[in-house]
Amino acid sequence: MDQNKPRHEDFELLQTPLTEEDFTNTDPWRVFRILGEFVQGFDTLSKLGAAVAIFGSARLPKENRYWQEAALTAEMLARRGLSIITGGGPGIMEAANFGASKEKGKSVGCNIELPFEQKPNPHQDISLSFHYFFVRKMMFVKYSLGFVIFPGGFGTLDELFEALTLTQTDKIAHFPIALYGREYWSGLLDWIRTVQLPAGCISESDFDLLKVTDSPDETVDYIITECKAQGFLK
């Protein structure tokens, strides 16, 4: 790692000690910051009500079709009375917060401190800031009735597979997970089906944990229908 790059809290917490320094003077104190972030998140979002989390790349501009479709998807979900939660940054996250605010729905951003890319977008009614990814991810899972995963990079994949793992292992309710953009996701899904499945690493039934969608209408219908079927919405 470039020693001149700024380090953030996750890096410092997860770094392996290389000296005999007494880390009881440092790491235990980070627990209080972690605890504080959990308390702040729980306290702020506990009365949010029904919400859907929308994920996707921070790098896609407003002119990109997925930006426009993410904004429309969020707008349509907000019209149905659902709050929208995003990572609070630019790109797809900004599109979703914009769509929710356009419909005057609750627009939440769970921002993360990063040395690059992440700057809070201006379309958030509720804006939280986290130092630690694992605390932030807890907020998405705990306060969302479903996930919509637009095209994105490693961070987006992280959120996708976190949700799939938790549902596959019954750690959380099997809420709807929509993969938006058949063209974008088809290569990944083909690899899962042709490599992981024959190898016996997953089961055929695991494909039921998600649905590929290709339009805002299809996505919203899927999220609402599944939420009602599972008793999350009336």
Here the CATH number for the domain that contains residue 192 is: 3.40.50.450
The 10s digit of each residue's pLDDT in 68-98 is 999 999 999 999 999 999 999 999 999 999 9
User: What is the pLDDT, as a whole number, of residue 30?
Assistant: 83
29: in domain: no
32 within some domain: no
**113 within some domain:** yes
How many domains are contained in the chain? 1
Residue 25 lies in a domain: no
In a domain, 5, yes or no: no
In a domain, residue 37? The reply is: no
In a domain, 61, yes or no: yes
Residue 96 makes CB contacts below 8 A (sequence gap 6+) with 54, 56, 70, 71, 73, 74, 84, 86
Q: Is the pLDDT of residue 14 over 80?
A: no
How would you list the strands of the sheet with 51-55, edge to edge? 126-130, 107-112, 83-86, 51-55, 147-149, 177-180, 211-213
Name the pTM for this structure: 0.89
In the beta sheet, which residues pair with residue 184?
Answer: none
91 domain residue, yes or no? yes
Q: What is the mean pLDDT of the chain?
A: 91
Q: CB-based contacts of 112: which residues, under 8 Å, 6+ apart?
A: 87, 88, 89, 118, 129, 130, 131, 133, 136
SS3 130: strand
Residue 180 has φ and ψ, to the nearest 5°, of -90, 120
Could you list the residue range(s) of the whole structural domain that residue 172 is in? Answer: 50-229
